[in-house]
Structure 1
Amino acid sequence: MRELLVVSKDDLTDDIARFLSENGWSLCYARSPETASKLADERKVLVGVVLFPTSRDTRLSAQLQQTVAELPQVKWIAALTEQMLSEREIKHFVAEHLYDFHVYPLEGERLTTVLGHAYGMARLERELAHHQEIKVPSRFGLVGESPQMRHLYRMLQRAAESDVSVLITGPTGTGKELAARAIHDHSERADGPYVAINCAAIPPSLLQSELFGHEKGSFTSANARKSGYIQSAAGGTLFLDEIGDMPMESQATLLRFLEDKIVTPIGSTRGKHIDVRILASTNVDLEGAIQNKRFRADLYYRLAFLTVETPALSERGKDIELLARHFLDEVTRDAGTRQLKIGQDALATLLSYAWPGNVRELRSVIFQAALSCEGLTIQASDLKIQGHPRGPYGAHGGHGRDAPEKHNGASAGHYVIGTLKSAREESEKRNLEYALERNACNITRTAQDLGVSRMTLYRLMAKHGVERSAIESSN
Structure 2
Amino acid sequence: MPEPATPRRLLIVDPCDECHRLLPGLKSAGWAVRSSTLGAALEHPCDIGLLRLQASHLRHPDAVKDLIKRSNTEWIAVLSAEELRLQNVGDFVCEWFFDFHTLPFDVSRVQVTLGRAFGMARLRGKQTLPLEQPEHELLGESRPVRELRKLLGKLAPTESPVLIRGESGTGKELVARTLHRQSQRHNKPFIAINCGAIPEHLIQSELFGHEKGAFTGAHQRKVGRIEAANGGTLFLDEIGDLPLELQANLLRFLQEKHIERVGGSQPIAVDARVLAATHVDLEQAIERGRFREDLYYRLNVLQVVTAPLRERHGDLSMLAHHFSHFYSLETGRRPRSFSDNALAAMGRHEWPGNVRELANRVRRGLVLAEGRQIEAHDLGLQDLDDAQAPLGTLEDYKHRAERQALCDVLNRHSDNMSIAAKVLGVSRPTFYRLLHKHQIR
Which interval holds the TM-score relative to the shorter structure? Answer: 0.5 to 0.7
Residue 412 to residue 290, structure 1, CA distance change in 2 (3 Å)? farther
Q: How far apart, in 2, do the equivalents of 1:247 and 1:277 lie? A: 21
The one-letter code sitting in structure 2 at the alignment partner of 1:328 is S
- Equivalent pair of 1:215/1:226 in contact (CA under 8 Å): yes
Shift of residue 136, structure 1, vs aligned partner: 6.5
Q: Which residue is 2:112 aligned to?
A: 118
Matched, 1:209 2:212: no
Q: Which residue is 2:381 aligned to?
A: 385
Q: Which residue is 2:94 aligned to?
A: 41
Q: SS at the partner of 1:259?
A: helix
RMSD (Å), alpha carbons: 3.7
Shift of residue 46, structure 1, vs aligned partner: 4.8
Q: How far apart, in 1, do the equivalents of 2:125 and 2:149 lie? A: 31
Gaps of 5+ in 1: 3-25, 27-36, 49-111, 388-405, 418-469, 471-475
Structure 1 window deviating more from structure 2 (277-286 vs 309-318): it is 309-318
Residue 210 to residue 47, structure 1, CA distance change in 2 (3 Å)? closer
Among all aligned residue pairs of Structure 1 and Structure 2, give the percentage whose two residues are the same amino acid. 41
Q: SS at the partner of 2:275?
A: strand
Give the counterpart of 1:156 among 152, 158, 165.
152
Matched, 1:364 2:360: yes
Residue 412 to residue 147, structure 1, CA distance change in 2 (3 Å)? farther
Give the counterpart of 2:219 among 212, 218, 223.
223
Q: Which residue is 1:196 aligned to?
A: 192
Shift of residue 114, structure 1, vs aligned partner: 8.0
Gaps of 5+ in 2: 1-17, 20-79, 81-89, 384-400, 413-436
Q: How far apart, in 1, do the equivalents of 2:341 and 2:122 lie? A: 25
Q: SS at the partner of 1:167?
A: strand
Instruction: Give CA-to-partner distance per residue, 1:370-420, whole Å, 9 cap, x none.
Output: 111011111122121359xxxxxxxxxxxxxxxxxx945844854669xxx
Q: Which residue is 1:307 aligned to?
A: 303
Q: SS at the partner of 1:145?
A: coil
Shift of residue 284, structure 1, vs aligned partner: 0.8
Matched, 1:340 2:393: no
The one-letter code sitting in structure 1 at the alignment partner of 2:339 is G
Q: How far apart, in 2, do the equivalents of 1:357 and 1:411 lie? A: 27
Instruction: Give CA-to-partner distance per residue, 1:323-343, whole Å, 9 cap, x none.
Output: 101100101233321131111
Residue 240 to residue 412, structure 1, CA distance change in 2 (3 Å)? farther
Residue 40 to residue 208, structure 1, CA distance change in 2 (3 Å)? closer
Instruction: Give CA-to-partner distance per residue, 1:105-129, whole Å, 9 cap, x none.
Output: xxxxxxx998565334124446768
Give the counterpart of 2:242 among 238, 242, 246.
246
Residue 258 to residue 43, structure 1, CA distance change in 2 (3 Å)? closer
- Equivalent pair of 2:127/2:321 in contact (CA under 8 Å): no
Q: How far apart, in 1, do the equivalents of 2:364 and 2:144 lie? A: 27
Give the counterpart of 2:292 among 268, 292, 296.
296
Shift of residue 273, structure 1, vs aligned partner: 1.1
The one-letter code sitting in structure 1 at the alignment partner of 2:154 is R
- Equivalent pair of 2:128/2:318 in contact (CA under 8 Å): no
- Equivalent pair of 2:98/2:117 in contact (CA under 8 Å): no
Q: How far apart, in 2, do the equivalents of 1:260 and 1:189 lie? A: 20
Q: Which residue is 2:313 aligned to?
A: 317
Q: Which residue is 1:14 aligned to?
A: none
Q: How far apart, in 1, do the equivalents of 2:112 and 2:402 lie? A: 45
Matched, 1:166 2:162: yes
Shift of residue 221, structure 1, vs aligned partner: 2.7
The size of the alignment, in residue pairs, is 307
Q: How far apart, in 1, do the equivalents of 2:124 and 2:142 lie? A: 28
